[in-house]
Structure 1
Amino acid sequence: MIYKNLMLTMGMSALTLSSVLVQADTPAVYLGGNLAALKYTEAGLHDDATFKSIFGRIGLQITANFSGELRAGMGLRDESVAVLGTDVDLELDHFYGAYLRGSFQASDEVSPYVIIGYTKGELTGSAPGAESATVSESDMSLGFGVDFLVDNSVTVNIEYMRYLDKDGFDVSGPSLGISSSF
């Protein structure tokens, strides 16, 4: 089911982006990866969990100021939080989504941007003596960041993104990444 939704999202994004490509002279494809510290905050939990995670990005720079991007990532290790005096292990299984980015050239090397899109993620929790439970959620996502041009095809970026903001919990945090266009 997860992969069916991912393929549907990717297909819809490709159709949307291809209709815009007709207006672009020479769109550039970019590939990248980010390291992130995503904080999971939930009402009623005494502790927050911060997931060290990675995600890959593939994007299409449609114009100088507009791009579309697909992302997929996962947590690197479990986190523990205290729930009513019991340690609960949380694992960020995976997350993925489709996003649109709008940017402007502040200088030849610096491009601030805003990003909006849709994210779906899955989290598993387990406690001693209890069965594990998996929760899957999706939501609109919003963030901002800055791209720093290192050379003609390599960019380093720093970003803050709120991936999920549901009743009672949210997942958000900063990331640092690198990408290369071709």
Structure 2
Amino acid sequence: MKNVVSSRIVCFALLVSLAIASPSIAMGSSIDHGTSYGGVHFSQLAYDEDGVSNDANPTLLTGRLGHFFANQVAIEGRLGLGLSDDTVRIDDFGLAVDVDMELDRLFGVYAVGHFPLGQSASIYGLFGFTDAKATFSTNGFSDSDTDSGFSYGFGVDIYSSDQFGLNIEYTQYLDESGYDLSALSLGVKFIY
């Protein structure tokens, strides 16, 4: 888990450095009051459960819609659907069992605060509420579970025009007793 978090921090730091060093492209009103946006994220998830030695890493495709109700502050809704599952081996009581984990769906509402980096990028932090449903399968048996809780994260947007940007984001979707669910996401953002 420490290596995954370290590599995510390095990726984020490199993208922030790129944003600061990139040539100036006017952000225009991309983070101003009244602006709306949409986007799509591809996410590599990390499901870490206490007592299991390795993480499950399924993938997720997430749609985002947001609106700036104040300069640099937006409210955002997300709906994510699982793309692929991942298998982990659990050794318990001397038996090794392969368990498939898939995130079926995720939805949430978040407040997002931006801090501009020059004219072509902004870093942001988010916090809010996420509800997620996952399915666990082994040896022909499966069980689904739904959970919800507080979420937080940070990311960077790099704008190539007034209407289009790319971003990278780290999000801690759920941090519950016994497990946590986080994501490293790459995405596109459309301003309208």
TM-score, with length taken from structure 1: 0.83
Q: Which residue of 2 aligns with 1:77?
A: 84
- Residue 42 of structure 2 is aligned to residue 35 of structure 1: yes
Tell me what 1:47 maps to.
54
Structure 2 matches for 1:14-29, cutoff 5 A?
Answer: 27-29=34-36
Residues of 2 paired with 1:108 and 1:26: CA distance?
17
Matching of residues 19-168 of structure 1 within 5 Å: 27-84=34-91, 85-129=96-140, 131-168=141-178
In structure 2, distance between residues paired with 1:113 and 1:123:
28
C-alpha offsets along residues 56-96 of structure 1, whole Å, 9 cap, x if unaligned? 00000223310010001022111111122011111110100
Unaligned runs of 5+ in 1: 1-24
User: Does 2:180 align with 1:178?
Assistant: no
The alignment partner of 1:50 has SS state of: coil
| Greater RCO, 1 or 2 (C-alpha within 8 Å, sep 6+) | 2
For normalisation by structure 2, the TM-score amounts to: 0.78
Any gaps of 5 or more consecutive residues in structure 2?
Answer: 1-31
Identity of aligned residues (%): 36
Contact 2:33 2:71 in 1 (8 A): no
